[in-house]
């Protein structure tokens, strides 16, 4: 190797470590260091386990709910697409990273040609042969200023972002399935309550009808009793429809039919969920996947700036090959038939009408957009957690008050019924007690559903729902996809 080639190689090795990617600095979180405090919030407590470390089987106590969540994780199409996107971005990263290495190829060719006499210098027809075999490198770019490595780094960060997108999809799926299942169960309880109430209203209507026939109850009492029956029938049709639609929504989330061996569901009044530890807002930056996804996208945009900067500098590409050339196939690899080619090329941008500057400006603007998206994801997460914490405390108080309200209405109904049977009060008071009890019982089921769904949403907002069982799962590691030869 000549001295000039040696010096060129040494220079390339020295400059190969050069990178024009700006130093990455994580933006400051644009939220307070603590969650809100006040009458709507329970006193802050130091958690012994982060919500993101609490497996969904540990959080959900209903075996039937655990069963439908497991079914969704195995069959949901959105989750399947998210997993395939990871493979797609891994392939794109390997494609981009391959540009860091020279592409070596081997070629072999042969040709035979007959030259007619009128075209031959000797005046006689002739047959010529040519055979060659070469191994070479074609247009390999020396990454002196880190352009290729910057693009490879951007692709790697996009791959990490896609992994976090899958985690976010799974967390959202777990929460969506849980909320759909709880809504389904709540509407089934409302349907059962309506059926029982309709039976009571119809029995009361029969008694009022008999009383009307003997002149004890007026036509007005009979008409009012009938309105209760018809209203209950309308409610029955409504909840029958909602139960069917809830089941359809759940089937869509599951990606398959509801398991035929589904265990018996626990009533909504049971202890269905664990309490979610809130922690600190800073925990969200480390555990919530949509925030991590936004940060990886920010790092990718930061790396693209390095590639745009490197485009201002000269680029050097090398083409080289070595092989053998012979007019006879038998002499292709004999001594004296060797051939080689070394063809370096340098490209120096001189004038491009501002294209490179515009590309750099575009990369910087894209980074600013990524910063804004990252900050917005933090603010959204903070708001969702704060709303969930406020809902947790207030729903506890509201639900207890509603239980007391139902109990008071049950006492009112029993007294009104007794007084009506012995003729102390009119049918109007009894019907009013029936309606109020039915309405209070409906509100209790609705409030319990709202409390459960708010707890599920808080669990999701804190990044929970990724692990199946905390003790058997490790946190996601940042590892680049391995290179594959084929």
CB 269 within 8 A of CB 448: yes
Using one digit for the tens of pLDDT, what is the confidence trace for 10-38? 454 444 557 889 999 999 989 888 888 88
Q: What is the reported pLDDT for 322?
A: 87
Q: Where residue 229 falls among pLDDT bands split at 50, 70, 90?
A: very high
The first and second tokens of residue 52, run together, are 């993101």
Q: Which of 443, 441, 402, 437 minimizes the C-alpha distance to 417?
A: 437
Q: What is the reported pLDDT for 166?
A: 94
Q: What is the reported pLDDT for 234?
A: 96
In DSSP terms, which residues pair with 269 in a beta bridge? none
* Residue 473 pLDDT exceeds 50: no
Distance between the two ends of the chain, CA-based, in angstroms?
33
- State whether CATH 1.20.140.10 applies to domain 49-100+145-311+355-472: no
Using one digit for the tens of pLDDT, what is the confidence trace for 83-97? 999 999 999 999 898
CB 371 within 8 A of CB 18: no
Provide mean pLDDT across the span 257-273: 91
For helices 147-213 and 77-97, angle between their N-to-C axes, nearest 10 degrees:
170
100: how many CB neighbours lie within 10 A of its CB? 14
Using one digit for the tens of pLDDT, what is the confidence trace for 400-451? 999 999 999 999 999 988 887 787 777 788 888 989 999 999 999 999 999 9
346: how many CB neighbours lie within 10 A of its CB? 9
Which range has the worst mean pLDDT, 143-147, 305-309, 452-456, 482-486?
482-486
The SS3 of residue 188 is: helix
The first and second tokens of residue 164, run together, are 């976090």
Q: Which of 448, 463, 452 minimizes the C-alpha distance to 278?
A: 463
Using one digit for the tens of pLDDT, what is the confidence trace for 340-379? 888 888 888 888 889 999 999 999 999 999 999 999 999 9
* Residue 335 pLDDT exceeds 70: yes
CA distances from 202 to 206, 225, 230, 231, 240 (A): 6, 8, 9, 11, 19
Q: Where residue 162 falls among pLDDT bands split at 50, 70, 90?
A: very high
What's the CA gap between 37 and 48, in Å, rounded? 20
In DSSP terms, which residues pair with 344 in a beta bridge? 318
Q: What is the reported pLDDT for 46?
A: 56
CB 45 within 8 A of CB 279: no
The SS3 of residue 164 is: helix
Q: Residue 30 carries which DSSP code?
A: S
Q: What is the reported pLDDT for 65?
A: 96
Q: What is the reported pLDDT for 477?
A: 56
Provide mean pLDDT across the span 39-43: 79
Q: pTM of the entire structure?
A: 0.84
């Amino acid at each position: 190797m000549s001295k000039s080639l040696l010096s060129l190689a040494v220079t390339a090795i020295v400059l190969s470590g050069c990178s024009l990617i700006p130093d990455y600095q994580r933006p400051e979180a644009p939220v307070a260091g603590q969650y809100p405090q006040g009458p709507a919030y329970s006193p802050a407590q130091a958690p012994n386990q982060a919500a993101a470390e609490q497996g969904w089987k540990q959080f959900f106590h209903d075996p039937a709910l655990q069963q439908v969540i497991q079914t969704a994780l195995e069959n949901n199409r959105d989750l399947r697409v998210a997993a395939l996107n990871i493979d797609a971005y891994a392939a794109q990263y390997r494609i981009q990273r391959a540009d860091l290495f020279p592409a070596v190829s081997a070629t072999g060719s042969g040709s035979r040609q007959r030259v007619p006499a009128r075209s031959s210098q000797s005046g006689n027809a002739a047959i010529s042969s040519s055979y060659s075999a070469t191994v070479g490198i074609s247009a390999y770019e020396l990454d002196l200023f880190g352009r290729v490595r910057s693009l490879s780094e951007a692709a790697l960060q996009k791959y990490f972002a896609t992994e976090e997108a899958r985690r976010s999809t799974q967390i959202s799926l777990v929460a969506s399935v849980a909320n759909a299942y709880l809504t389904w169960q709540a509407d089934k309880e409302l349907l059962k309550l309506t059926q029982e109430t309709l039976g009571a209203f119809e029995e009361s209507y029969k008694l009022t009808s008999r009383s009307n026939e003997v002149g004890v109850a007026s036509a007005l009492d009979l008409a009012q009793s009938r309105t209760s029956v018809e209203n209950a029938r309308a409610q029955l049709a409504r909840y029958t429809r909602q139960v069917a639609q809830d089941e359809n929504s759940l089937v869509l989330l599951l990606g398959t039919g509801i398991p035929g061996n589904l265990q018996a569901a626990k009533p909504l009044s049971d202890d269905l969920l664990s309490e979610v530890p809130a922690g600190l807002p800073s925990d969200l930056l480390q555990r919530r996947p949509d925030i991590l996804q936004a940060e990886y996208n920010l790092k990718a945009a930061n790396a693209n700036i390095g590639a745009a900067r490197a485009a201002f500098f000269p680029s050097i590409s090398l083409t080289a090959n070595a092989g053998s050339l012979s007019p006879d196939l038998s002499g292709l690899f004999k001594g004296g038939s060797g051939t080689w080619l070394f063809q370096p090329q340098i490209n120096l941008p001189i004038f491009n009408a501002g294209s490179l500057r515009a590309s750099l400006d575009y990369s910087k603007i894209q980074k600013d957009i990524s910063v804004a998206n990252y900050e917005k994801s933090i603010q959204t997460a903070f708001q969702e957690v704060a709303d969930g914490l406020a809902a947790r405390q207030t729903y506890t108080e509201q639900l207890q008050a509603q239980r007391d309200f139902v109990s008071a209405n049950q006492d009112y109904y029993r007294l009104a019924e007794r007084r009506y049977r012995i003729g102390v009060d009119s049918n109007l008071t009894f019907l009013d007690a029936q309606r109020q009890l039915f309405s209070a019982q409906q509100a209790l089921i609705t409030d319990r559903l709202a409390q459960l769904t708010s707890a599920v949403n808080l669990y999701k907002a804190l990044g929970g729902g990724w692990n199946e069982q905390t003790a058997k799962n490790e946190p996601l590691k940042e590892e680049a996809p391995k290179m594959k030869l084929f």
